[in-house]
Amino acid sequence: ETGVTQTPRHLVMGMTNKKSLKCEQHLGHNAMYWYKQSAKKPLELMFVYNFKEQTENNSVPSRFSPECPNSSHLFLHLHTLQPEDSALYLCASSQGERGGTGELFFGEGSRLTVL
């Protein structure tokens, strides 16, 4: 496999469920990101990890919990979500923490629907 792979591609969950989104990058990058993409809104940065260390938490509610066990894997644990959390969640990686100097490589996203 190449690039950035996200699973599952689609997820439907109730507000009381607990689920996780998984991201894996095969590019040898050291930085990984979670973005939220909602209709008619800018891409919202949620979390940044650099060499497995969280370097940015963009005021994300605690019902979203990231985990980065190594530089190639990133998880987003979800619990007690709200319907307004329904969105496309995009994982990205880059060589270097700053996506500005290093190109961001995105996965295809996990489409989340919260009922």
Under the rule (CB under 8 A), what is the footprint of other proteins? Answer: 4, 33, 40-43, 45, 48, 50, 55-56, 90, 92, 97-101, 103-109
Report in angstroms how near the CB of residue 83 gets to other proteins at its nearest: 22
Report the half-sphere exposure of 66 (CA within 13 A, side-chain side). Answer: 27
For strands 10-13 and 110-114, give the pairing. Answer: parallel
DSSP 107: -
Report in angstroms how near the CB of residue 104 gets to other proteins at its nearest: 7
- The smaller minimum CB distance to other proteins, of residues 13 and 45, is found at 45
- The smaller minimum CB distance to other proteins, of residues 85 and 109, is found at 109
- The smaller minimum CB distance to other proteins, of residues 66 and 109, is found at 109
Report in angstroms how near the CB of residue 80 gets to other proteins at its nearest: 27
**Six token digits for residue 65:** 């919990």
- The smaller minimum CB distance to other proteins, of residues 16 and 28, is found at 28
Polymer length in residues for the chain:
115
- The answer for residues whose C-beta is within 8 angstroms of residue 27's C-beta and 6 or more apart is 2, 3, 4, 93, 95, 105
